[in-house]
Every structure is written in structure tokens, then in C-alpha cells.
Structure 1
Amino acid sequence: MSEKPTKVRYLVLFVVCLVYLITYLDRVAISVAAPLMMKDFGINKLEWGLVLSVFSWTYASFQIPVGLLGDKLGARKVLAGIVCLWSLMTVATAMAWNFMSLVVIRLLFGIGEAGAFPTATRAFAHWMPSTERGFAQGFTHGAARFGGAITPLIVAVIMNAWGWHSVFYIFAAIGLAWAGFWYFWYRDKPSEYKERWGGINQAEMDLIDGGKSSKKAAPKLPFKALLKSKNMWFLSLSFPTYCYTVWIFMTWLPAFLVEAKGFSVIKMGIFASIPLFAGVVGDTLGGWLSDRIWKKTGNGKFARRVVPMAGMLVAAAFLIPGALTDNAYMAVFYLACSLFGLEMAVGVYWAVCLDVGHEYAGTVSGMMNTIGNIGSALSPLVFGAILQFTGSWVYPFLVASTILVIGALLWLKVDPTLSIAEELNLEKLENEQKVVM
């Protein structure tokens, strides 16, 4: 009988899920603590908006640089380092003394968190077989969304017991503990893990490898060359439409339920979590379903395209009745269906970065996430401007729905079976550069 593969890759997946959850604990905590922090620092709403917004810009700006660093140094060193950086900035948040100190701390916090997802994607390039990458990405992003959904409850309990400063000390300690464990335990390749710890058999290593070990070293990927990839541009231009819409749920959903649907603040806290938990389910299901279709059909293009396209179109369709209905509870139901569909796409986005990136997965995912976070940064501002100009909650949702349809259609031009190295003919490019030198 042939040897059954061990399951060490799933242990790696679980540990990465923990850091995804930690990213959202640390990211969302400051929003929940906002009322007490604004009062203590004497910060007005305009200044507080700046404190929150500077995170998005450094977070977007450092996706590609840290992705490149992850490709060069490996996920073990880089992920441990950046988690330490943002955890120290989480401690610093509790020690801030005025408005400007908070701005600087949030800028540095954004730099740290910028590298988390691209570098983790790099880890999966070495640890997950191609037919499990969608599941892995969906599961990790589901963990991130779960972290965001439970943060308000955790922060409220800690603040009530020990004050808002304690929130950041406790969350920072969790991050630093994870970073220490990751650096001590994780290895960048299964072969290195076997040499250090054992516990992984050849069957699992062969399953993960999929014939890659017989290939020669990958040529370098110049960033200018990456910008010539049509495949990456279609993927990267679709991703902001997802980011734009998901950040509406993260930023405007509470106000919508209170002001447009008449929920009390306490009731809003309960019902606002329902779409977020629906998103967790969609996150996990979407990547798994895409992998399943690929296994059953052998058609990578169809498997990677159909799930995000269908999910985004479902999301676009349910946004409209969610805004139009007069029934507050039906609005929550429609929006939960919308976020469920929307989040089915996210795992596939990141899986395609692995599919086409291979050795360049950190760089490729960094490019996608950088462009995507332009949508995240613009979303709350554009939504608020439309709301202010029209006085209606319907039009901002209509705009988001239209944007999602465009993003879904862009998937028709994404080819997950065409690697970056093949599309850009990197081997030929490297040989030409050697001749010139």
C-alpha cells in the first residue's frame, strides 16, 4: 500500500490563520476604543478620521516592498519581523501622548501589517499543493474576518474591566507571542521542516511539491517586467472593486442600521455582526469550492473564474434590496447574503496569486493588494460624499453594486493557468540581461 500523506501542511495553515485573526484584532481595536480615546486625547472627529486613514495609505504603499522582501528572505524571518513591528506599535498606541504621536504610530502600524498577507501567501507557495490553495486562502481570510467580527465584544469586555490602554497591551502580547513561536517553529520549506522537526513524510512532501523540485531555479522577476503582465493587471483592477465594497460593510454598516433602519445602538451591535459572520462562511466556502471544481473538472480557468464571478454578482444583486427595503430585519438578511457572496471571492483572488506567482507569490500578491487597497481607502470617503450630496442611502449602494459588476466581468480576462514566468518569458529576459552584462 502507498504511504498516506501526513498533515503537517494543515498545522502550518492553522498557525497562519491565527496571525490573520491577530491582524484584525489589532486593526479593529482602535475603532472600538475610539470614544474613550478621543475623549482622553481631546481629539475632534476630523483629527480622528486622519488617525484612522493614515493606516490605509502606508498599508497600501508597503505591500509590494514587503512582498519583495518576503520573496527574498522567506516567510519565516519576514513574517516574524513584521508581526513584532506592528505589535510594538500596538503597545505604542497605549503609550501615545497626543494627536501627532497617534498619527506617527498608525503610519508605522500600517507598514507592519502591510506585509502580513503577501508574506503568508509566500509561505503557502511552499506548503500548499495547487489544489488546496483556494481552500487555504479562503480559510485564512475567513479567520481574519472572524477576528474582525469578535473584536468589538472582546474590546468592550477588556475596556470595561481595565480601561482602553489594557486592550493594546494585551493584544500586543498576543502578537509578540505568535511571532516568537513562528520564528522558532516554522521552516520555509517542507524539507527544512523535516530536517529540523521530522513528522512530515515523503508522501506529503511529494503532494505539496507536485513535481516542482525537478525544476531549475526560477529567474529573477524585475518589477518593471511585472507591470507588463496583462494577467496581473486584470486581476489587480478587479480586486479594488471587492475591497471597495467590503470596506462599506466595515465602515458604514453600523451607521446605516442606526440612521436608515432605526436600530438602537445595542441592537445594532448585535445585528451588525450577522453580515460579518456570513462573510466568514463565504470566505471559507469560496476557496474550497473553487478547489473542488478544479479537482472535479480539471479546468483551472473555469474553477477560478466561476466562483468569484458568481459571488460578486450575487453580492451586487443583494446590495440593492438591502438598501431599498423598509423592513430593517430583511435589510440585515439581504446584506448578509451580499457579504456572503462577496467574501466567496477573496480566497480565490489570493489563490490565483499563488497559481500565477509560484516563486514570486509575495511580489504578485503585493501588487494586487496594493492596488486593491486604493479601493479600501476611497470607499468610506466616496460612500459618505454620495450620501451627503444625495441625502439618500440608496445611491451609495447602487454605485457599489455597479462597481462589483465591473469587477466580476474583469475575471473573464484572468487566466490562472498562465504563470508570470511563462507570460513574461522571464528566462529569456534573464538570459538577455546576462548577454548585455
Structure 2
Amino acid sequence: MTNYRWLICGMLFLATTINYMDRQVLSLTWKDFIAPEFHWTDADYGRIAAIFSIVYAIGNLFSGRFMDWIGTKKGYLWAIGIWSLGACMHAFCGVATAQWLGLEGKEELINAVGTSTAVIASVSAWFFIVCRIVLGIGESGNFPAAIKVTAEYFPKKDRAFSTSIFNSGSTIGAL
């Protein structure tokens, strides 16, 4: 059981690292890649970041109760599944924008950019926000689940150390 516990702690560290990397990638790629490609403004970035943060904060209020109700194994699986879905959904924002606006494929979307850039940018930003909402709901389960796992799998004498290990993933992920 001793080695198994520390393996679980390592997995919590990796999950927390990925959790924070998902958050940081937007700010790291905004100016050079995302804003120019999608014609988004700093106001769009502010909306995207603010809505994600609000959903994440509210999700934290409920995810702890959810982990207590369903259990850590199933609850953490749900949390990781939802945040993975949210992360994958980002790849389909362009397709969803084209479909929403009634454009047939990538070429028509690219040709339409010159005439209706503001509409396309607005619609694509809102699809992106929906993806960030799903990501925030899923990611909000990470800390309640990880803390509960350390309480269930580690004796009192090792809990602070194991918590510091998985929590350091947030710092590594933010780099």
C-alpha cells in the first residue's frame, strides 16, 4: 500500500500540472497566435478569462460536495472527463462558427473574413467561451478530489507532504 499511495500522489501531481497548463496556454498564446488568427480583441480575452474564472470559482463550491456524494474515484474520473471534453472542444470552434454562420467549409469561412470579420470574431469567441465554461466545470473538481484522495490514502503523518507534492503541480503547470 505504501508504494501505491505515492504512485497515486504522482498521478495527482500530473493531473494538477495539466490542469494548470490548460489555463495558462490561453494567456501564453494570445498575442502572437490566437488574437491575430481569430481577429479577437483584448475585450474578448477579458470576457473569456473572466467567464472561465467565475465558472471555475462557482464550480469549486459544488465539486467538493459532488466528490463527497459520488466518491473520489468516480468523481475525479468525471472531473477529468469533463475537463478533457472541454479541452477537446476548443479544436472545433472554427467548424462550429462556420456551421452557425451557414458557411460551407474552411475556404468559404476564410473568404468571408474580409467582409464580416466582426461577426465571425464574435461568434467564434462565444463558441470559445462555451468551451472554457466546460473546461472550468471539469477543472474545478481537481483540488477537492485531490485533497480528499490524500485524506483517504495517506496517514496523518504523510498528508501535508503528499498535499505539497500534488499542489506543486499548480506551480509547474503555471510556468
Question: Is residue 57 of structure 1 aligned with residue 51 of structure 2?
Answer: no
1:12-411 to structure 2, matched below 5 A, reads 12-35=8-31, 36-97=33-94, 98-149=124-175
- Matching residue's letter, 2:148: R
Separation (CA, whole Å) in 2 of partners of 1:50 and 1:73:
33
Q: Is the 8 A contact 2:24 2:174 kept in 1?
A: yes
* Inter-CA distance 84–124: structure 2 relative to 1 (3 Å threshold): same
Separation (CA, whole Å) in 2 of partners of 1:141 and 1:119:
12
Paired position in structure 1 for 2:112: none
Q: Is the 8 A contact 2:79 2:139 kept in 1?
A: yes
Q: CA deviation at 1:51?
A: 0.8
26-35 or 110-119, larger mean C-alpha shift: 26-35
Separation (CA, whole Å) in 2 of partners of 1:51 and 1:129:
41
What's the CA shift string for 1:92-139, capped at 9, x where partnerless? 112213111111111121111111100111111110111111111111
SS of equivalent to 1:96: helix
Q: Is the 8 A contact 2:79 2:142 kept in 1?
A: yes
Q: CA deviation at 1:64?
A: 2.2
> Where do 5+ consecutive residues of structure 1 fail to align?
150-437
* Inter-CA distance 68–116: structure 2 relative to 1 (3 Å threshold): same
Separation (CA, whole Å) in 1 of partners of 2:2 and 2:167:
24
Match of 2:4 among 8, 18, 23: 8
Report the count of equivalent residues.
145
What's the CA shift string for 1:40-70, capped at 9, x where partnerless? 2111111111111111101010112111110
Separation (CA, whole Å) in 2 of partners of 1:6 and 1:90:
33
Structure 1 length-normalised TM: 0.32
Paired position in structure 1 for 2:97: none
What's the CA shift string for 1:288-343, capped at 9, x where partnerless? xxxxxxxxxxxxxxxxxxxxxxxxxxxxxxxxxxxxxxxxxxxxxxxxxxxxxxxx
Q: Specify which structure has the higher proportion of helix.
A: 2
Structure 2 length-normalised TM: 0.78
Separation (CA, whole Å) in 1 of partners of 2:4 and 2:125:
46
What's the CA shift string for 1:65-92, capped at 9, x where partnerless? 1111101111111111111111111111
* Inter-CA distance 95–74: structure 2 relative to 1 (3 Å threshold): same
Q: CA deviation at 1:32?
A: 1.3
CA-based RMSD of the aligned residues comes to 1.3
Separation (CA, whole Å) in 2 of partners of 1:51 and 1:115:
20
Separation (CA, whole Å) in 1 of partners of 2:147 and 2:3:
19
Larger Rg computed on CA atoms: 1
Structure of higher RCO (CA pairs closer than 8 Å, 6+ residues apart): 2
Q: Is the 8 A contact 2:85 2:134 kept in 1?
A: no
Q: Is the 8 A contact 2:82 2:135 kept in 1?
A: yes
Q: Is the 8 A contact 2:80 2:138 kept in 1?
A: yes
* Inter-CA distance 61–6: structure 2 relative to 1 (3 Å threshold): closer
Separation (CA, whole Å) in 2 of partners of 1:109 and 1:147:
16
Separation (CA, whole Å) in 1 of partners of 2:2 and 2:39:
56
Q: CA deviation at 1:23?
A: 0.4
- Matching residue's letter, 1:31: S
Separation (CA, whole Å) in 2 of partners of 1:139 and 1:93:
30
